[in-house]
Amino acid sequence: MASIEVRPLDGNLAFGTQVSGVTSEALDDEGVRARLRELLDEKGVIVCRNVEQTAAMQVKLSQVFGPLKEHPVYSVARADRDNLPGVIVIATGPGSCIVEIDGKPLVTWQPWHFDHAYNDEMMYAAVLRSIKTPKGGGRTAFADGIQIYNDMDPAIRAKADGMKAIYNLDLRYDRQRFGLPKDFRLVKPHDNTLSQENENGRCAVHPAVWTRPSGEKVFHMCPYGCRGLEGDRSDEAFAKLAEVWDEAERVMKVYYHQWQDGDMVIWDNTRVLHEATGSNPEEEREIHRTTIKGPLCHGWWEKQTEAAA
């Protein structure tokens, strides 16, 4: 029987783990596959070290956790549209957005979010692989929704319970109503029309708090692409969202992943928020991400009842 080595990721965090010994042969062993699924359920983030850096291995590792699904946005760049369904490419290029935070220009920066918030069905999980890693920056940050919920001020946490946020594909930072860093400045917007085309697009609804089968409650909302509350796009709705988000950000205990050769990272998208911290616009950055289908991907389209969804 194949075996893997499991070690703590960060002694100061209750979530996350790191694993070595993940080979193609090991993944043929159902005992190893079951152990990896168990770890993702327990820890939310798995950092796999010294993994074969091929698309085939990334897909094989992804399929441990569920079937691959196609990304819901056709125009998003793919690694191989015909042979690798749902494997997307996030990379620098002439059309890349550039922002400035604390006076530092950054490319491929994204605020805290969960993937596919703009869709009624989120992806369950993903495997991330860095193809081109910049010398400076380029870290990926993760925060555990269970920890956030448990550590929030009870009065504000009570406001988050029952809150239903709405999201769409208008991801322009100059339209983001809350949650940007204090010293944020947009230097150059994305050179595509996806956000403009979806300015008035339909919204998906996702609860700000949901309960796992284990009984644990998860804080699960974000400012990126948020268009208000279900049935309420007023300034008061955004004030409520901002108050809850500010408290969540205040208490979150973050794991910052510094990419090393041989890494692949898996996270539970229904539990863990993530942020791309950005990198020097003068350096190339490319990362590939899979899209994994799962059973807990709650959400529904606005004006569609939760029961019907």
Angle at 84 between CA 80 and CA 88, to 5 degrees: 65
Counting Cβ atoms within 10 Å, is residue 2 exposed (0-12), middle (13-18) or buried (19+)? middle
Rounded Cα distance between 139 and 277, Å, is 6
Contact predicate 272/266, CB 8 Å: no
pTM value > 0.85: yes
- pLDDT, tens digit, 9 for 90 and up, residues 232-245: 999 999 999 999 99
- State the pLDDT at residue 309: 41
pLDDT at 58: 97
pLDDT for the residue 77:
84
Token digits of residue 197: 């085309």
User: Exposed, middle or buried, 298 (CB in 10 Å: 0-12/13-18/19+)?
Assistant: middle
Name the token pair of 158: 């009570």
Q: For residues 18 and 83, give the distance between their C-alpha atoms in angstroms, rounded to a whole number.
A: 29
Structure tokens at 72: 């819901």
Q: Residue 105's closest CA among 96, 113, 114?
A: 96
Report CA-CA distances (Å) from 218 to 50, 154, 287: 31, 14, 27
CATH class of 5-295: alpha beta
Tokens at 39, concatenated: 């770890």
Residue 163, φ and ψ in degrees, nearest 5: -75, 135
Rg (CA), the chain: 19
What is the chain's pLDDT, residue by residue, as a tens digit (309 residues)? 678 999 999 999 999 999 999 999 999 999 999 999 999 999 999 999 999 999 999 999 999 999 999 888 887 888 888 788 889 899 899 989 999 999 999 999 999 999 999 999 999 999 999 999 998 789 999 999 999 999 999 999 999 999 999 999 999 999 999 999 999 999 999 877 677 777 778 999 999 999 999 999 999 999 999 999 999 999 999 999 999 999 999 999 999 999 999 999 999 999 999 999 999 999 999 999 999 999 877 899 998 554 444
Which pLDDT score, from 0 to 100, does residue 296 have?
Answer: 77
CB 198 within 8 A of CB 166: no
Q: What is the pLDDT of residues 3-35, one digit of tens each?
A: 899 999 999 999 999 999 999 999 999 999 999
